[in-house]
Structure 1
């Protein structure tokens, strides 16, 4: 699928472009041991590093990246970004803005008196007709000190302005730097085709296949990866 990203020509050499999610995998996953000794099992067990659905969720779609370093100290955000003058009107000049806490009041994301941050967008995103863009927190990235709010944008029609990404800051003890290039949003196209949910009981053939598949998975490691997983 062709996805078109556009930005202000004055910023094209400054902004980190969106990247395939597979190119933004975290260091902790790369360094994670594939097996660990389990006291309960009395043998080594495979870790999440060897769970294809876990890893493939992190590799799916593309990432929007933070355009510059952002310093966080005592709950305050600051940055020193030498951003060139924009050649178009209404382009944001800062990596972050915010939503007042009242806009989240009554939702599980609301925190009393705490504003939500908003990662400003400098790229527009155009999808083919019939597709929307699902934007969410980078999959399985609980190491990040914020939690993005998920949203769906009809980016086959709305593509002349950027999509901003609101988030709740979840680590009140974080003091440090969010470096330029930090993944702030994971996005992937979703079809707007209507769903037809067809729920059926097993017949004899599907029951046999179920038993055969589960037996193989219990007896042999890596059955899903070797027989069913689509290589990406």
Structure 2
């Protein structure tokens, strides 16, 4: 589907653009082995998640919003040196990060007394096709990042005159270092806005037989899901899902 991103004209040549999630797979996924020794299986080599298509496909779906500049974290203080020009929109944010007061999360498991929630400011507006919303969530399977994005749903077919703000809680209080420009801030997935009809049934004789046949094939033939069920992909996601896996097209710097 078509997704339109717009930014201030003064930032067009310097602001990192959103990228397909399949082009921002992390370096650790490239570097990990396709098989590992399992003591639970008597030292047998077992396939790692690098050979799990659902794991890879989830990380590769939608697009990534990147951090617009380096952000340094020292002793819990966040700072940046970003020489941003004069912008056309007077109310446009100028800093990459702002903050939520702790009281706004009070009553949720995300609340940390005395700890503010960071808010990644967006420098892109996002427009999707009519009838679609945008699910914005933490980059999938990225527990290596020192923050955890709060998940939200935005009706970007209507809300596209300003950018989305991405709130997050800081999960690694001991982190000191730099979040580089381009670090994945949010993974966004377009979803159709429609009601669900849930139909609950029991397995009939035919379904039970197909269940056993599918389960047997999955147990006896590694890679059966990929060969028999998985829809074709392109790029890094497709390559990583093959036995052995290969390097992604692009790895983010985080």
TM-score by length of 1: 0.99
State the partner residue of 1:32. 32
Q: Measure how far apart 1:26 and its partner are.
A: 0.3
Aligned runs of 1:1-232 on 2, under 5 Å?
1-42=1-42, 43-232=44-233
After TM superposition, give the deviation of residue 205 of structure 1 in Å. 1.1
TM superposition shift of 1:83: 1.3
Residues 104-124 of structure 1 show CA distances to partners (whole Å, capped at 9, x for unaligned) of: 111011101000000000100
Give the deviation of 1:17 after TM superposition: 0.4
Q: Distance in 2 between matches of 1:93 and 1:220?
A: 54
Q: Distance in 2 between matches of 1:108 and 1:88?
A: 36
More displaced 10-residue stretch of structure 1: 20-29 or 83-92: 83-92
Shift of 1:14: 1.4
In structure 2, C-alpha distance between the alignment counterparts of 1:105 and 1:113, rounded to whole Å = 11
187-196 or 139-148: bigger deviation: 187-196
Displacement of 1:88 in angstroms is 1.8
Match of 1:40, SS state, is helix
The aligned residue for residue 237 of structure 2 is none
1:76, distance to aligned residue in structure 2 (A): 0.2
**1:84 offset after TM fit, Å?**
1.4
Please give the root-mean-square deviation of Cα atoms over the aligned residues, in Å.
Answer: 0.6
How far 1:79 sits from its partner (Å)?
A: 0.3
Shift of 1:85: 1.3
> CA offset at residue 168 of structure 1?
0.1
> 1: CA distance between counterparts of 2:15 and 2:31?
28
The answer to whether the Cα contact below 8 Å between 1:116 and 1:166 also exists between their aligned partners in 2 is yes
Q: Is the 8 A contact 1:121 1:165 kept in 2?
A: yes
The higher relative CO (CA closer than 8 Å, separation ≥ 6) is in 2
- Partners in 1 of 2:160 and 2:58 — Cα distance? 25
- The CA distance in 1 between the partners of 2:10 and 2:92, in whole Å, is 11
Shift of 1:24: 0.4
TM-score by length of 2: 0.90
Unaligned runs of 5+ in 2: 234-254
Matched-pair contact (CA < 8 Å) for 1:134–1:190? yes
Note the C-alpha offset of 1:230. Answer: 1.0
| Runs of 4+ with deviation above 2 angstroms | none
